[in-house]
Chains A and B, each alone.
Chain A
Amino acid sequence: MDSTRDALAAMRPATRAHRQAVGGAMGNGARIWAQSCSAEGDAIWGVYQESVKRHARRIARPETEIEFHGVGTTFPGIDHLDSAEHLATVEVIRNAIQAEQQGYAAFVMISTIDAGHREVRELTDLPAVFITECAIHLACQLAGKFAFLTHNRKILEKMERIARGYGLGERMVDGASLDLTYRDFRRMYEDPEPVLAAFVSEARKAIDRGAGILLPAGNPVNMFLLDHGVRTIEGVPVLDSFGAAVKTAEMLVDLARMGITRGGSPGTMEQREGLRAHYRSPR
Protein backbone atom coordinates (compact mmCIF):
# COMPACT_ATOMS: atom_id res chain seq x y z
CA MET A 1 0.00 0.00 0.00
CA ASP A 2 2.93 2.32 0.60
CA SER A 3 3.82 2.06 -3.05
CA THR A 4 0.25 2.91 -4.02
CA ARG A 5 0.46 5.97 -1.80
CA ASP A 6 3.75 6.88 -3.51
CA ALA A 7 2.08 6.50 -6.88
CA LEU A 8 -0.75 8.77 -5.81
CA ALA A 9 1.69 11.28 -4.32
CA ALA A 10 3.54 11.52 -7.65
CA MET A 11 0.41 12.64 -9.48
CA ARG A 12 -0.79 16.18 -9.81
CA PRO A 13 -4.54 16.45 -9.59
CA ALA A 14 -6.51 18.44 -12.13
CA THR A 15 -9.97 18.71 -10.68
CA ARG A 16 -12.73 20.73 -12.26
CA ALA A 17 -12.18 23.39 -9.57
CA HIS A 18 -8.51 23.55 -10.59
CA ARG A 19 -9.42 23.96 -14.26
CA GLN A 20 -11.79 26.79 -13.43
CA ALA A 21 -9.20 28.44 -11.20
CA VAL A 22 -6.70 28.57 -14.03
CA GLY A 23 -8.98 30.16 -16.55
CA GLY A 24 -12.68 29.75 -16.06
CA ALA A 25 -15.05 28.08 -18.50
CA MET A 26 -13.79 27.37 -22.01
CA GLY A 27 -14.75 29.83 -24.67
CA ASN A 28 -13.89 32.91 -22.59
CA GLY A 29 -11.92 35.56 -24.37
CA ALA A 30 -8.18 35.21 -24.80
CA ARG A 31 -5.73 38.05 -25.28
CA ILE A 32 -2.92 36.89 -27.56
CA TRP A 33 0.42 38.66 -27.88
CA ALA A 34 1.59 38.36 -31.52
CA GLN A 35 5.31 39.08 -31.79
CA SER A 36 7.18 39.92 -34.97
CA CYS A 37 10.92 40.34 -35.51
CA SER A 38 10.45 43.51 -37.57
CA ALA A 39 9.92 47.03 -36.26
CA GLU A 40 6.35 48.27 -35.94
CA GLY A 41 5.87 51.35 -38.07
CA ASP A 42 8.78 50.54 -40.40
CA ALA A 43 7.60 51.66 -43.84
CA ILE A 44 9.11 48.61 -45.56
CA TRP A 45 6.75 46.39 -43.60
CA GLY A 46 3.68 48.68 -43.70
CA VAL A 47 1.66 46.82 -46.35
CA TYR A 48 2.37 43.49 -44.71
CA GLN A 49 1.52 44.72 -41.24
CA GLU A 50 -1.82 46.10 -42.39
CA SER A 51 -2.55 42.84 -44.19
CA VAL A 52 -1.74 40.57 -41.26
CA LYS A 53 -3.79 42.65 -38.82
CA ARG A 54 -6.78 42.57 -41.18
CA HIS A 55 -6.40 38.79 -41.54
CA ALA A 56 -6.13 38.32 -37.78
CA ARG A 57 -9.45 40.07 -37.23
CA ARG A 58 -11.05 37.86 -39.89
CA ILE A 59 -9.86 34.50 -38.54
CA ALA A 60 -9.77 34.86 -34.75
CA ARG A 61 -12.71 33.72 -32.68
CA PRO A 62 -15.00 36.65 -31.84
CA GLU A 63 -13.84 36.58 -28.21
CA THR A 64 -10.11 36.44 -29.09
CA GLU A 65 -8.12 39.66 -29.04
CA ILE A 66 -4.79 39.70 -30.93
CA GLU A 67 -2.29 42.47 -30.26
CA PHE A 68 0.72 42.95 -32.50
CA HIS A 69 4.16 43.86 -31.23
CA GLY A 70 7.39 44.36 -33.08
CA VAL A 71 10.98 44.93 -32.02
CA GLY A 72 12.75 48.32 -31.77
CA THR A 73 14.72 47.99 -34.98
CA THR A 74 14.50 45.76 -38.03
CA PHE A 75 17.98 44.30 -37.90
CA PRO A 76 19.65 43.93 -41.33
CA GLY A 77 19.24 40.42 -42.73
CA ILE A 78 16.70 39.45 -40.05
CA ASP A 79 15.05 36.92 -42.36
CA HIS A 80 18.16 34.73 -42.66
CA LEU A 81 21.17 35.94 -40.63
CA ASP A 82 21.69 34.26 -37.27
CA SER A 83 23.47 37.34 -35.90
CA ALA A 84 20.40 39.49 -36.65
CA GLU A 85 18.14 36.87 -35.11
CA HIS A 86 20.32 36.90 -32.00
CA LEU A 87 19.75 40.62 -31.51
CA ALA A 88 16.01 40.38 -32.13
CA THR A 89 15.70 37.41 -29.81
CA VAL A 90 16.75 39.48 -26.79
CA GLU A 91 13.76 41.75 -27.37
CA VAL A 92 11.50 38.80 -28.13
CA ILE A 93 12.33 37.20 -24.80
CA ARG A 94 11.82 40.47 -22.96
CA ASN A 95 8.44 40.90 -24.63
CA ALA A 96 7.35 37.36 -23.84
CA ILE A 97 8.13 37.97 -20.17
CA GLN A 98 6.15 41.19 -20.35
CA ALA A 99 3.23 39.41 -22.03
CA GLU A 100 3.11 36.91 -19.20
CA GLN A 101 3.30 39.63 -16.55
CA GLN A 102 0.51 41.57 -18.24
CA GLY A 103 -1.82 38.58 -18.22
CA TYR A 104 -1.88 37.66 -21.88
CA ALA A 105 -3.21 34.15 -22.50
CA ALA A 106 -0.67 33.16 -25.16
CA PHE A 107 2.45 34.32 -26.98
CA VAL A 108 2.71 33.80 -30.74
CA MET A 109 5.91 34.34 -32.72
CA ILE A 110 4.74 35.31 -36.21
CA SER A 111 8.15 35.71 -37.85
CA THR A 112 9.03 32.47 -39.57
CA ILE A 113 12.54 32.29 -38.13
CA ASP A 114 10.87 31.23 -34.84
CA ALA A 115 13.14 33.52 -32.79
CA GLY A 116 13.21 32.67 -29.09
CA HIS A 117 11.82 29.18 -29.57
CA ARG A 118 13.74 27.63 -26.68
CA GLU A 119 14.29 30.73 -24.58
CA VAL A 120 10.64 31.81 -24.31
CA ARG A 121 9.71 28.33 -23.13
CA GLU A 122 12.50 28.33 -20.56
CA LEU A 123 11.55 31.65 -19.03
CA THR A 124 7.75 31.81 -19.25
CA ASP A 125 4.88 29.42 -18.66
CA LEU A 126 2.63 31.01 -21.26
CA PRO A 127 1.28 28.83 -24.06
CA ALA A 128 3.78 29.72 -26.79
CA VAL A 129 3.30 29.15 -30.51
CA PHE A 130 6.04 29.55 -33.11
CA ILE A 131 4.68 29.95 -36.60
CA THR A 132 7.06 27.67 -38.49
CA GLU A 133 7.03 24.90 -35.92
CA CYS A 134 3.24 25.06 -35.83
CA ALA A 135 2.92 25.11 -39.63
CA ILE A 136 5.23 22.11 -40.04
CA HIS A 137 3.31 19.99 -37.55
CA LEU A 138 -0.03 20.93 -39.09
CA ALA A 139 1.29 20.32 -42.61
CA CYS A 140 2.34 16.81 -41.57
CA GLN A 141 -1.23 16.11 -40.49
CA LEU A 142 -2.63 17.46 -43.74
CA ALA A 143 -0.34 15.92 -46.35
CA GLY A 144 2.41 13.40 -46.93
CA LYS A 145 5.34 15.73 -47.66
CA PHE A 146 5.73 19.46 -47.32
CA ALA A 147 7.98 22.04 -48.97
CA PHE A 148 8.76 25.67 -48.22
CA LEU A 149 8.06 28.43 -50.69
CA THR A 150 10.15 31.50 -49.87
CA HIS A 151 11.16 34.87 -51.23
CA ASN A 152 14.85 33.99 -51.50
CA ARG A 153 17.27 31.12 -51.33
CA LYS A 154 18.88 32.14 -48.04
CA ILE A 155 15.63 32.12 -46.13
CA LEU A 156 14.71 28.82 -47.78
CA GLU A 157 17.91 27.29 -46.43
CA LYS A 158 17.16 28.70 -43.00
CA MET A 159 13.59 27.33 -43.02
CA GLU A 160 14.80 23.89 -44.03
CA ARG A 161 17.41 23.95 -41.27
CA ILE A 162 14.70 24.89 -38.77
CA ALA A 163 12.44 22.04 -39.96
CA ARG A 164 15.26 19.53 -39.61
CA GLY A 165 15.93 20.93 -36.13
CA TYR A 166 12.35 20.09 -35.17
CA GLY A 167 13.02 16.50 -36.23
CA LEU A 168 10.70 16.54 -39.24
CA GLY A 169 13.26 16.64 -42.03
CA GLU A 170 12.13 13.35 -43.47
CA ARG A 171 8.66 14.76 -44.16
CA MET A 172 10.17 17.61 -46.20
CA VAL A 173 11.17 17.82 -49.87
CA ASP A 174 13.42 20.53 -51.26
CA GLY A 175 11.53 23.78 -51.43
CA ALA A 176 11.44 26.61 -53.93
CA SER A 177 12.37 30.27 -53.77
CA LEU A 178 12.49 33.52 -55.71
CA ASP A 179 15.20 36.15 -55.59
CA LEU A 180 13.58 38.91 -53.51
CA THR A 181 14.37 40.63 -50.23
CA TYR A 182 11.97 42.04 -47.66
CA ARG A 183 12.60 45.43 -49.24
CA ASP A 184 10.55 44.15 -52.20
CA PHE A 185 7.40 43.46 -50.18
CA ARG A 186 5.78 46.82 -50.93
CA ARG A 187 6.66 46.57 -54.64
CA MET A 188 5.13 43.08 -54.79
CA TYR A 189 1.76 44.56 -53.86
CA GLU A 190 2.13 47.39 -56.37
CA ASP A 191 2.75 45.01 -59.26
CA PRO A 192 1.74 41.52 -58.11
CA GLU A 193 1.31 39.61 -61.36
CA PRO A 194 4.97 38.89 -62.25
CA VAL A 195 5.74 37.87 -58.66
CA LEU A 196 2.69 35.61 -58.46
CA ALA A 197 3.66 33.98 -61.76
CA ALA A 198 7.20 33.44 -60.48
CA PHE A 199 5.94 31.85 -57.24
CA VAL A 200 3.68 29.49 -59.21
CA SER A 201 6.48 28.55 -61.56
CA GLU A 202 8.96 27.84 -58.76
CA ALA A 203 6.35 26.02 -56.66
CA ARG A 204 5.80 23.56 -59.51
CA LYS A 205 9.38 22.37 -59.04
CA ALA A 206 8.70 21.51 -55.38
CA ILE A 207 5.44 19.83 -56.37
CA ASP A 208 7.34 17.72 -58.91
CA ARG A 209 9.64 16.67 -56.08
CA GLY A 210 6.62 15.33 -54.20
CA ALA A 211 5.37 18.22 -52.08
CA GLY A 212 1.77 17.58 -51.01
CA ILE A 213 1.48 20.94 -49.29
CA LEU A 214 3.40 24.24 -49.57
CA LEU A 215 4.48 26.39 -46.63
CA PRO A 216 5.07 30.04 -47.54
CA ALA A 217 7.83 31.79 -45.59
CA GLY A 218 8.33 34.49 -44.31
CA ASN A 219 4.92 35.48 -43.25
CA PRO A 220 4.80 38.45 -45.70
CA VAL A 221 4.92 35.85 -48.50
CA ASN A 222 2.07 34.00 -46.82
CA MET A 223 0.03 37.19 -46.60
CA PHE A 224 0.87 38.20 -50.18
CA LEU A 225 -0.36 34.86 -51.54
CA LEU A 226 -3.48 34.96 -49.34
CA ASP A 227 -4.25 38.54 -50.33
CA HIS A 228 -4.12 37.49 -53.97
CA GLY A 229 -6.31 34.44 -53.48
CA VAL A 230 -3.59 31.83 -53.98
CA ARG A 231 -4.76 28.92 -51.81
CA THR A 232 -3.58 26.16 -54.15
CA ILE A 233 -0.95 25.78 -56.84
CA GLU A 234 -1.55 22.96 -59.33
CA GLY A 235 -4.09 21.55 -56.87
CA VAL A 236 -1.55 21.50 -54.02
CA PRO A 237 -2.68 23.52 -50.99
CA VAL A 238 -0.72 26.53 -49.80
CA LEU A 239 -0.97 26.48 -46.02
CA ASP A 240 -1.95 29.72 -44.31
CA SER A 241 0.79 29.50 -41.67
CA PHE A 242 -0.42 32.58 -39.82
CA GLY A 243 -3.97 31.21 -39.62
CA ALA A 244 -2.56 27.92 -38.34
CA ALA A 245 -0.58 29.76 -35.64
CA VAL A 246 -3.59 31.77 -34.43
CA LYS A 247 -5.87 28.73 -34.32
CA THR A 248 -3.21 26.67 -32.56
CA ALA A 249 -2.76 29.45 -30.00
CA GLU A 250 -6.51 29.44 -29.32
CA MET A 251 -6.36 25.66 -28.92
CA LEU A 252 -3.39 25.78 -26.54
CA VAL A 253 -5.21 28.39 -24.45
CA ASP A 254 -8.23 26.06 -24.22
CA LEU A 255 -5.94 23.19 -23.23
CA ALA A 256 -4.09 25.29 -20.66
CA ARG A 257 -7.40 26.19 -19.07
CA MET A 258 -7.99 22.46 -18.63
CA GLY A 259 -4.58 22.05 -17.03
CA ILE A 260 -2.94 20.59 -20.17
CA THR A 261 0.34 22.42 -20.53
CA ARG A 262 3.91 21.86 -21.59
CA GLY A 263 6.39 20.43 -19.15
CA GLY A 264 8.23 22.53 -16.66
CA SER A 265 11.22 24.62 -17.65
CA PRO A 266 14.61 22.99 -17.22
CA GLY A 267 15.59 26.07 -15.18
CA THR A 268 15.05 26.29 -11.43
CA MET A 269 12.71 28.93 -10.06
CA GLU A 270 15.75 30.88 -8.84
CA GLN A 271 17.53 30.71 -12.20
CA ARG A 272 14.43 31.78 -14.07
CA GLU A 273 13.77 34.71 -11.75
CA GLY A 274 17.37 35.84 -12.06
CA LEU A 275 17.30 35.63 -15.86
CA ARG A 276 13.93 37.34 -16.11
CA ALA A 277 15.31 40.21 -14.05
CA HIS A 278 18.25 40.54 -16.47
CA TYR A 279 15.96 40.63 -19.49
CA ARG A 280 13.62 43.14 -17.86
CA SER A 281 16.38 45.55 -16.84
CA PRO A 282 17.07 48.42 -19.27
CA ARG A 283 20.22 48.10 -21.38
Chain B
Amino acid sequence: MRIWYQSYSAIGFDPRWSYYEEHLKRYVREVARPTTEVSVHGVPLMVDKMVNSRYLQYLHSRQIHENALEAERQGYDAFVLGGMLDLAYHELQELLTIPVIFIAETSFHVACLLSPNFSVIAPNGAVLKGIEGRVEDYGLGKRYVPGVHLGGMPLEDMVASFADPGPVLQRISEAARQVIARGARMLIPGFGALNVFLAAQGVREWDGIPVLDNTAVLIKMAETRVDLHTLGTRPGGRGPNAAPSREDVRAARRLYGLD
Protein backbone atom coordinates (compact mmCIF):
# COMPACT_ATOMS: atom_id res chain seq x y z
CA MET B 1 0.00 0.00 0.00
CA ARG B 2 1.29 3.48 -0.90
CA ILE B 3 0.19 6.55 1.06
CA TRP B 4 0.91 10.14 0.02
CA TYR B 5 1.31 12.21 3.22
CA GLN B 6 0.75 15.89 2.46
CA SER B 7 1.91 18.54 4.90
CA TYR B 8 0.82 22.20 4.65
CA SER B 9 4.31 23.32 5.55
CA ALA B 10 7.23 23.96 3.21
CA ILE B 11 9.02 20.76 4.16
CA GLY B 12 11.28 19.65 1.37
CA PHE B 13 11.50 23.25 0.12
CA ASP B 14 12.48 25.49 3.03
CA PRO B 15 15.52 24.23 4.98
CA ARG B 16 14.12 25.70 8.22
CA TRP B 17 11.67 22.77 8.21
CA SER B 18 14.26 20.05 7.65
CA TYR B 19 14.48 19.05 11.32
CA TYR B 20 10.71 18.46 11.47
CA GLU B 21 10.79 16.72 8.11
CA GLU B 22 13.43 14.28 9.34
CA HIS B 23 11.45 13.41 12.47
CA LEU B 24 8.17 13.15 10.58
CA LYS B 25 9.57 10.85 7.89
CA ARG B 26 11.18 8.61 10.48
CA TYR B 27 8.03 8.49 12.60
CA VAL B 28 5.56 7.66 9.83
CA ARG B 29 7.84 4.80 8.75
CA GLU B 30 7.93 3.56 12.33
CA VAL B 31 4.15 3.50 12.78
CA ALA B 32 3.15 2.21 9.33
CA ARG B 33 2.74 -1.49 8.60
CA PRO B 34 5.87 -3.10 7.16
CA THR B 35 4.10 -3.36 3.80
CA THR B 36 2.96 0.29 3.76
CA GLU B 37 5.04 2.93 2.02
CA VAL B 38 4.44 6.51 3.17
CA SER B 39 5.95 9.32 1.12
CA VAL B 40 5.99 12.73 2.78
CA HIS B 41 5.44 15.90 0.76
CA GLY B 42 5.35 19.59 1.58
CA VAL B 43 4.32 22.58 -0.50
CA PRO B 44 6.75 25.02 -2.11
CA LEU B 45 4.95 28.21 -1.02
CA MET B 46 3.64 29.22 2.36
CA VAL B 47 2.68 32.54 3.94
CA ASP B 48 2.60 32.76 7.72
CA LYS B 49 -0.76 34.55 7.78
CA MET B 50 -2.42 31.70 5.89
CA VAL B 51 -4.15 30.49 9.06
CA ASN B 52 -5.97 33.83 9.46
CA SER B 53 -7.36 34.28 6.00
CA ARG B 54 -9.77 32.32 3.83
CA TYR B 55 -8.28 33.86 0.69
CA LEU B 56 -4.72 32.96 1.64
CA GLN B 57 -5.96 29.47 2.51
CA TYR B 58 -7.52 29.26 -0.94
CA LEU B 59 -4.20 30.19 -2.55
CA HIS B 60 -2.40 27.71 -0.33
CA SER B 61 -4.90 24.95 -1.00
CA ARG B 62 -4.34 25.15 -4.74
CA GLN B 63 -0.95 23.56 -4.18
CA ILE B 64 -2.65 20.77 -2.25
CA HIS B 65 -5.21 20.19 -5.01
CA GLU B 66 -2.40 19.77 -7.53
CA ASN B 67 -0.51 17.35 -5.29
CA ALA B 68 -3.66 15.33 -4.65
CA LEU B 69 -4.26 14.93 -8.36
CA GLU B 70 -0.61 14.00 -8.81
CA ALA B 71 -0.89 11.35 -6.06
CA GLU B 72 -3.85 9.79 -7.82
CA ARG B 73 -2.07 9.91 -11.19
CA GLN B 74 0.92 8.15 -9.64
CA GLY B 75 -1.28 5.33 -8.35
CA TYR B 76 -1.16 6.05 -4.61
CA ASP B 77 -3.77 4.19 -2.57
CA ALA B 78 -4.60 7.07 -0.21
CA PHE B 79 -3.97 10.79 0.18
CA VAL B 80 -3.61 12.06 3.74
CA LEU B 81 -3.54 15.66 4.93
CA GLY B 82 -1.35 16.34 7.93
CA GLY B 83 -2.45 19.91 8.74
CA MET B 84 -4.95 20.44 11.55
CA LEU B 85 -7.09 22.97 9.64
CA ASP B 86 -8.17 20.24 7.20
CA LEU B 87 -7.77 22.69 4.32
CA ALA B 88 -9.26 21.74 0.95
CA TYR B 89 -11.67 19.38 2.73
CA HIS B 90 -14.59 19.61 0.32
CA GLU B 91 -12.53 19.99 -2.85
CA LEU B 92 -10.48 16.87 -2.19
CA GLN B 93 -13.57 14.82 -1.36
CA GLU B 94 -14.90 15.81 -4.78
CA LEU B 95 -11.66 15.45 -6.71
CA LEU B 96 -10.23 12.13 -5.57
CA THR B 97 -11.44 8.61 -6.15
CA ILE B 98 -8.85 7.18 -3.72
CA PRO B 99 -9.51 7.53 0.03
CA VAL B 100 -8.61 10.98 1.36
CA ILE B 101 -8.05 11.29 5.08
CA PHE B 102 -7.75 14.50 7.11
CA ILE B 103 -5.82 14.65 10.36
CA ALA B 104 -8.22 16.84 12.35
CA GLU B 105 -11.35 14.94 11.32
CA THR B 106 -9.64 11.60 11.96
CA SER B 107 -8.29 12.74 15.33
CA PHE B 108 -11.71 13.92 16.49
CA HIS B 109 -13.51 10.73 15.50
CA VAL B 110 -10.85 8.40 16.91
CA ALA B 111 -10.81 10.48 20.11
CA CYS B 112 -14.56 9.89 20.37
CA LEU B 113 -14.01 6.13 20.03
CA LEU B 114 -11.47 6.28 22.87
CA SER B 115 -12.85 8.89 25.22
CA PRO B 116 -16.07 10.54 26.36
CA ASN B 117 -14.75 13.93 25.17
CA PHE B 118 -11.68 15.61 23.73
CA SER B 119 -9.92 18.95 23.61
CA VAL B 120 -7.18 20.59 21.57
CA ILE B 121 -3.85 22.25 22.39
CA ALA B 122 -3.10 24.61 19.50
CA PRO B 123 0.05 26.65 18.84
CA ASN B 124 -1.82 29.97 18.71
CA GLY B 125 -5.25 31.53 18.92
CA ALA B 126 -5.88 31.67 15.16
CA VAL B 127 -5.16 27.97 14.68
CA LEU B 128 -7.31 27.11 17.71
CA LYS B 129 -10.19 29.08 16.25
CA GLY B 130 -9.77 27.33 12.90
CA ILE B 131 -9.70 23.89 14.51
CA GLU B 132 -12.72 24.64 16.68
CA GLY B 133 -14.56 25.68 13.52
CA ARG B 134 -13.84 22.23 12.15
CA VAL B 135 -15.17 20.56 15.31
CA GLU B 136 -18.46 22.39 14.71
CA ASP B 137 -18.46 21.67 10.97
CA TYR B 138 -18.13 17.97 11.71
CA GLY B 139 -21.02 18.07 14.17
CA LEU B 140 -18.87 17.05 17.12
CA GLY B 141 -19.41 20.07 19.34
CA LYS B 142 -21.20 18.00 21.98
CA ARG B 143 -18.07 15.92 22.51
CA TYR B 144 -15.68 18.89 22.63
CA VAL B 145 -14.20 20.68 25.64
CA PRO B 146 -13.02 24.20 24.70
CA GLY B 147 -9.33 24.08 23.86
CA VAL B 148 -6.29 26.12 24.69
CA HIS B 149 -3.36 27.61 22.80
CA LEU B 150 0.28 28.15 23.55
CA GLY B 151 0.26 31.87 22.80
CA GLY B 152 2.33 31.49 19.64
CA MET B 153 4.81 28.86 18.63
CA PRO B 154 7.19 30.26 15.99
CA LEU B 155 8.88 27.74 13.75
CA GLU B 156 12.23 28.57 15.31
CA ASP B 157 10.90 27.65 18.78
CA MET B 158 9.44 24.43 17.43
CA VAL B 159 12.73 23.40 15.80
CA ALA B 160 14.74 24.38 18.86
CA SER B 161 12.41 22.35 21.07
CA PHE B 162 13.62 19.07 19.57
CA ALA B 163 17.13 19.78 20.91
CA ASP B 164 16.01 21.45 24.14
CA PRO B 165 12.53 20.13 24.99
CA GLY B 166 12.21 21.48 28.55
CA PRO B 167 10.79 24.98 27.91
CA VAL B 168 8.23 23.81 25.34
CA LEU B 169 7.18 20.88 27.51
CA GLN B 170 6.65 23.33 30.34
CA ARG B 171 4.35 25.47 28.17
CA ILE B 172 2.43 22.44 26.98
CA SER B 173 2.12 21.15 30.52
CA GLU B 174 0.52 24.40 31.68
CA ALA B 175 -1.85 24.39 28.71
CA ALA B 176 -2.75 20.73 29.23
CA ARG B 177 -3.61 21.32 32.86
CA GLN B 178 -5.96 24.15 31.90
CA VAL B 179 -8.08 21.93 29.64
CA ILE B 180 -7.88 18.98 32.02
CA ALA B 181 -9.31 21.28 34.70
CA ARG B 182 -12.21 21.99 32.30
CA GLY B 183 -12.95 18.28 32.17
CA ALA B 184 -11.04 17.20 29.03
CA ARG B 185 -10.47 13.43 28.95
CA MET B 186 -8.33 13.31 25.81
CA LEU B 187 -5.92 15.89 24.44
CA ILE B 188 -5.25 16.41 20.74
CA PRO B 189 -2.15 18.33 19.64
CA GLY B 190 -3.33 21.09 17.29
CA PHE B 191 -0.22 21.19 15.12
CA GLY B 192 1.45 18.33 13.26
CA ALA B 193 4.96 19.33 14.35
CA LEU B 194 3.78 19.56 17.96
CA ASN B 195 2.57 15.97 17.85
CA VAL B 196 5.77 14.69 16.28
CA PHE B 197 7.69 16.57 18.98
CA LEU B 198 5.58 14.97 21.73
CA ALA B 199 5.99 11.52 20.16
CA ALA B 200 9.76 12.08 20.01
CA GLN B 201 9.68 12.94 23.74
CA GLY B 202 7.63 9.84 24.48
CA VAL B 203 4.68 11.82 25.83
CA ARG B 204 1.53 9.71 25.89
CA GLU B 205 -0.41 11.40 28.66
CA TRP B 206 -0.51 14.31 31.02
CA ASP B 207 -1.68 13.78 34.61
CA GLY B 208 -3.30 10.53 33.50
CA ILE B 209 -5.17 12.10 30.57
CA PRO B 210 -4.10 10.61 27.21
CA VAL B 211 -2.52 12.75 24.51
CA LEU B 212 -3.71 11.39 21.17
CA ASP B 213 -0.77 10.71 18.88
CA ASN B 214 -2.54 11.98 15.81
CA THR B 215 0.29 11.33 13.36
CA ALA B 216 0.13 7.62 14.18
CA VAL B 217 -3.68 7.70 14.22
CA LEU B 218 -3.71 9.34 10.78
CA ILE B 219 -1.48 6.66 9.27
CA LYS B 220 -3.41 3.81 10.88
CA MET B 221 -6.74 5.29 9.75
CA ALA B 222 -5.37 5.67 6.21
CA GLU B 223 -4.40 2.00 6.20
CA THR B 224 -7.84 1.08 7.53
CA ARG B 225 -9.59 3.19 4.92
CA VAL B 226 -7.56 1.58 2.15
CA ASP B 227 -8.51 -1.86 3.54
CA LEU B 228 -12.17 -0.85 3.59
CA HIS B 229 -11.95 0.64 0.11
CA THR B 230 -10.50 -2.65 -1.15
CA LEU B 231 -13.48 -4.40 0.46
CA GLY B 232 -15.93 -2.19 -1.39
CA THR B 233 -16.62 0.65 1.08
CA ARG B 234 -17.18 3.89 -0.81
CA PRO B 235 -17.83 7.49 0.22
CA GLY B 236 -21.25 9.03 -0.20
CA GLY B 237 -22.58 12.44 -1.08
CA ARG B 238 -22.10 15.64 0.87
CA GLY B 239 -25.12 17.81 0.38
CA PRO B 240 -27.17 18.70 -2.65
CA ASN B 241 -24.25 19.37 -4.99
CA ALA B 242 -23.13 16.45 -7.11
CA ALA B 243 -19.37 16.00 -7.48
CA PRO B 244 -18.22 16.92 -10.98
CA SER B 245 -17.34 14.13 -13.37
CA ARG B 246 -13.71 13.57 -14.40
CA GLU B 247 -14.59 15.13 -17.73
CA ASP B 248 -16.08 18.22 -16.06
CA VAL B 249 -12.91 18.62 -13.99
CA ARG B 250 -10.66 18.27 -17.02
CA ALA B 251 -12.71 20.81 -19.01
CA ALA B 252 -12.79 23.29 -16.12
CA ARG B 253 -9.06 23.00 -15.54
CA ARG B 254 -8.42 23.75 -19.20
CA LEU B 255 -10.79 26.74 -19.10
CA TYR B 256 -9.13 28.19 -15.99
CA GLY B 257 -5.67 27.66 -17.44
CA LEU B 258 -4.53 24.95 -15.03
CA ASP B 259 -3.90 22.30 -17.71
* Interface, chain A (partner B; CB < 8 A): 1, 3-4, 6-8, 10-16, 25-27, 59, 61, 129, 133-134, 137-144, 166-171, 210-213, 231-232, 236-237, 239-240, 243-244, 247-248, 250-252, 254-255, 258-264
**A144, B216: Cβ atoms under 8 Å?**
no
List chain A residues, Cβ under 8 A from B220: 251, 254-255
Chain A, residue nearest B202 (CB): A13
Contact digits for B227-249, partner A, Cβ 8 Å, 1 yes 0 no: 11001111111111000000000
Q: Assess the B206–A262 pair: CB atoms within 8 A.
A: no
B31-64 vs A: 1/0 string, CB under 8 Å? 1011100000000000000000000000000000
Residues in B whose Cβ lies below 8 Å from that of A232: 234
14 CB contacts below 8 A, A to B, read A6-B173, A7-B172, A11-B204, A27-B33, A140-B138, A141-B225, A168-B140, A169-B139, A212-B236, A212-B237, A243-B228, A250-B227, A258-B31, A258-B213
Q: Please judge, given known A-B contacts A141-B106, A247-B224, whether A26 and B213 are in contact too, CB under 8 Å.
A: no
B231→A144 contact, CB < 8 A: no
Residues of chain B within 8 A of A211, CB atoms compared: 236
Instruction: List 12 additional contacts besides A7-B173, A26-B33, A210-B239; criterion CB under 8 Å.
Output: A3-B173, A12-B205, A27-B33, A27-B35, A140-B138, A144-B238, A171-B139, A243-B231, A243-B233, A244-B233, A262-B210, A263-B185
Contact A231 B232, beta carbon cutoff 8 Å:
yes
Nearest B residue to A170 via CB reads B139
- Collect the chain B residues with CB atoms within 8 Å of residue A137's CB: 109, 112-113
- The residues of A that contact B160 with a CB separation of less than 8 Å are none
Q: Which residues of A contact B114 (CB under 8 A)?
A: 261-263
Q: Is B221's beta carbon under 8 Å from chain A?
A: yes
Residues 114-155 of B contacting A (Cβ, < 8 Å):
114-115, 138-143
Given contacts A27-B33, A171-B139, A247-B224, contact A143 B237 (CB under 8 A): yes
Residue A252 contacts which of B113, B207, B227, B237 (CB distance < 8 angstroms)?
B113
B112, B207, B217 interface centre (most CB from chain A within 10 Å):
B112
CB distance from B205 to the nearest CB of A (A): 5
Contact in complex: B202, A15 (CB < 8 Å): yes
Most buried by B among A26, A133, A264: A26
Chain A contacts for B92, CB-based, 8 A = none
Nearest-neighbor residue (CB-CB) of A172 within chain B: B139
Chain A residue nearest in CB terms to B234: A237
A251 touches B231 (CB 8 A): no
Cβ-neighbour of B237 out of A10, A236, A255 (below 8 A) = A236
Q: Are A258 and B216 in contact (CB under 8 A)?
A: yes
- Measured CA separation A10–B205 after assembly (Å): 8
The smallest C-beta distance from B244 to any residue of chain A, in angstroms, reads: 15
For the complex, give the distance between the alpha carbons of A243 and B204 in Å.
29
Q: A278 to B202, alpha carbons, bound, how many Å?
A: 37
Q: Are A260 and B212 in contact (CB under 8 A)?
A: yes
Question: Whole-angstrom distance between the alpha carbons of A139 and B142 in the complex?
Answer: 18
Complex Cα–Cα for A169 and B142 (A): 10
Q: How far is the CB of A228 from chain B (nearest CB, A)?
A: 14
A144 near B202 with CB under 8 A, answer: no
Whether A167 and B204, one on each chain, are in contact in the complex, defined by CB atoms closer than 8 angstroms, is no
Q: Which residues of A contact B142 (CB under 8 A)?
A: 167
Verify A263–B113 contact, CB threshold 8 A: no
> Which candidate, B4-12, B69-77, B162-170, is the interface stretch facing chain A?
B162-170
Q: A252 contacts which chain B residues (CB < 8 A)?
A: 113
Interface: B186 (CB within 8 A): yes
CB distance from B201 to the nearest CB of A (A): 7
Contact indicator A3/B170 (Cβ below 8 Å): yes
B172-184 vs A, Cβ < 8 Å mask (1 yes, 0 no): 1110100000000
Q: CB-defined interface of B189-225 with A at 8 Å, one 1/0 digit per residue?
A: 0000000000101111111111011001100110111
Q: Are A247 and B204 in contact (CB under 8 A)?
A: no
With A4-B166, A141-B109: A11-B205 Cβ-Cβ less than 8 Å: yes
Q: Is B21 an interface residue (CB 8 A)?
A: no
Q: In the bound complex, what is the Cα–Cα distance between A261 and B140 (angstroms)? A: 20
B198 to chain A, nearest CB (A): 9
Q: Which residues of B contact A11 (CB under 8 A)?
A: 169, 201-206
CB-defined contacts of A14 to chain B, threshold 8 Å: 199, 202-204
Distance of A167 Cα from B216 Cα, bound (Å): 25
Residue of B106, B167, B170, B236 contacting most chain A CB atoms (<10 Å): B236
Closest beta carbon of chain A to B161's beta carbon, Å: 12
A243 CB contacts on chain B under 8 angstroms: 228, 231, 233
Task: Looking at the assembled complex, report how far the CB atom of B54 sits from the nearest CB atom of chain A, in whole angstroms.
Answer: 21
Residue in B closest to A226 when the chains form the complex, CB atoms: B232
